[in-house]
Amino acid sequence: MFKFSSIAKITAVSAVATFSSIAINAADRISDFSLVDHEGRFFQLSRNSDQQAIVLLAFDDASRDARRAASKLADIAEDFADQKIAFAIVNVTSESSKSVIQKIAKDRKIELRILMDNTQLVAEELGLTRAAEVVILDPVAKTVVYRGALSKALAEGNRSERNAGSYVADALTAIVAGSDIADMQIASVGDVIEFPVMVAHSESLSYANDIAPILEERCVTCHQEGGIAPFAMSSLQMVQGWSPMIRETLITKRMPPGQIDAEFVDSFHDIYHITTEETQKLVHWIDGGSKSSDDRDPLMEIVYAPVKWLNGEPDIIIDIPEQQIPATGVQDYRNVMIPLELDEDIWVKAVEFEAGDTTVLHHIIAFSYGPDGVNEFEILNQGIGLGAYAPGNELNIYPEGAGYPLKAGGGLMLQMHYTTSGKEAIDASQIGIYVWDEEPERQILGGSAADLDILIPPNAGNHEMVASKKFRKDSYLTMVGPHMHYRGSDANFKLVYPDGREEEILNVPNYQFNWQKTYDFKEPKFLPAGTEMVFRATFDNSSNNPFNPDPTAEITWGEQTWQEMFFGFFRYVEADTDAASDGE
Q: Which pLDDT score is estimated for 18?
A: 37
Out of 174, 196, 218, a domain closes at 196
CA separation, residue 449 to residues 380, 494, 584 (Å): 12, 12, 10
How many angstroms separate the CA atoms of 569 and 584, rounded? 14
Q: Are residues 35 and 158 in the same domain?
A: yes
Q: Are residues 323 and 438 in the same domain?
A: yes
Residue 103 host element (H or E): helix 98-108
Question: Could you tell me which of 227, 235, 246, 232 has the C-alpha nearest to residue 208?
Answer: 235
Measured at the CA of 380, the angle between CA 374 and CA 382, to 5 degrees, comes to 90
Out of 239, 269, 301, a domain closes at 301
Residue 323 forms part of a structural domain:
yes
Q: Are residues 450 and 480 in the same domain?
A: yes
Treating both helix axes as pointing N-terminal to C-terminal, what angle do 167-177 and 64-79 enclose, rounded to 10 degrees?
Answer: 30
Which CATH number belongs to the domain containing residue 394 in this structure? 2.60.120.230
Residue 118 forms part of a structural domain:
yes
Q: Are residues 509 and 537 in the same domain?
A: yes
User: Which residues on neighbouring strands pair with residue 395, listed in sequence order?
Assistant: 352
User: Which residues on neighbouring strands pair with residue 57, listed in sequence order?
Assistant: 89, 134
Say how many C-beta atoms besides its own lie within 10 A of residue 167's C-beta: 23
- φ, ψ of residue 142 in degrees (nearest 5): 55, 60
Please give the distance of CA 505 from its chain centroid, rounded to a whole number.
Answer: 15
Q: Are residues 409 and 489 in the same domain?
A: no
Q: Which residues of the chain have pLDDT under 70?
A: 1-27, 158-164, 183, 377, 380, 577-584
Cβ atoms of residues 394 and 306 within 8 Å: no
Residue 583 forms part of a structural domain:
no
Residue 537 forms part of a structural domain:
yes
Label residue 15 exposed, middle or buried (CB < 10 Å: 0-12, 13-18, 19+).
exposed
How many angstroms separate the CA atoms of 163 and 25, rounded? 27
Out of 196, 219, 253, a domain closes at 196
Cβ atoms of residues 354 and 394 within 8 Å: yes
Residue 582 forms part of a structural domain:
no
Cβ atoms of residues 258 and 274 within 8 Å: no
Residue 524 forms part of a structural domain:
yes
Q: Which pLDDT score is estimated for 274?
A: 96
Count of structural domains within the chain: 4
How many angstroms separate the CA atoms of 86 and 358, rounded? 39
Q: Which pLDDT score is estimated for 145?
A: 95
Helix (H, G, I), strand (E, B) or coil at 159: helix
How many angstroms separate the CA atoms of 110 and 87, rounded? 12
Which CATH number belongs to the domain containing residue 36 in this structure? 3.40.30.10
Q: Which pLDDT score is estimated for 290?
A: 96
Helix (H, G, I), strand (E, B) or coil at 358: coil
- φ, ψ of residue 524 in degrees (nearest 5): -55, 145
Q: Are residues 65 and 184 in the same domain?
A: yes
Residue 226 forms part of a structural domain:
yes
Q: Are residues 247 and 362 in the same domain?
A: no
Pair type for strands 502-508 and 134-138: unpaired
Q: Are residues 437 and 458 in the same domain?
A: no
Residue 311 forms part of a structural domain:
no
Measured between alpha carbons, how far apart are the two ends of the chain, in Å? Answer: 52
CA separation, residue 39 to residues 183, 221, 261, 291, 533 (Å): 36, 32, 11, 38, 19
Write the secondary structure of 369-429 as one string of H (helix), E (strand) and C (coil).
EECCECCHHHHHCCCCCCEEEECCECEEECCCCEEEEECCCCEEEEEEEECCCCCCEEECC
Helix (H, G, I), strand (E, B) or coil at 552: coil
Q: Are residues 155 and 224 in the same domain?
A: no
Q: Are residues 273 and 380 in the same domain?
A: no
Q: Which domain holds residue 478?
A: 445-574
Q: Are residues 454 and 419 in the same domain?
A: no
Q: Are residues 460 and 343 in the same domain?
A: no
Rg from Cα positions in the chain = 26
Q: Which pLDDT score is estimated for 25?
A: 44
DSSP 202-242: HHH--IIIIIHHHHHHHTTTTSSTTSSSSS---SHHHHHHH
How many angstroms separate the CA atoms of 317 and 430, rounded? 7
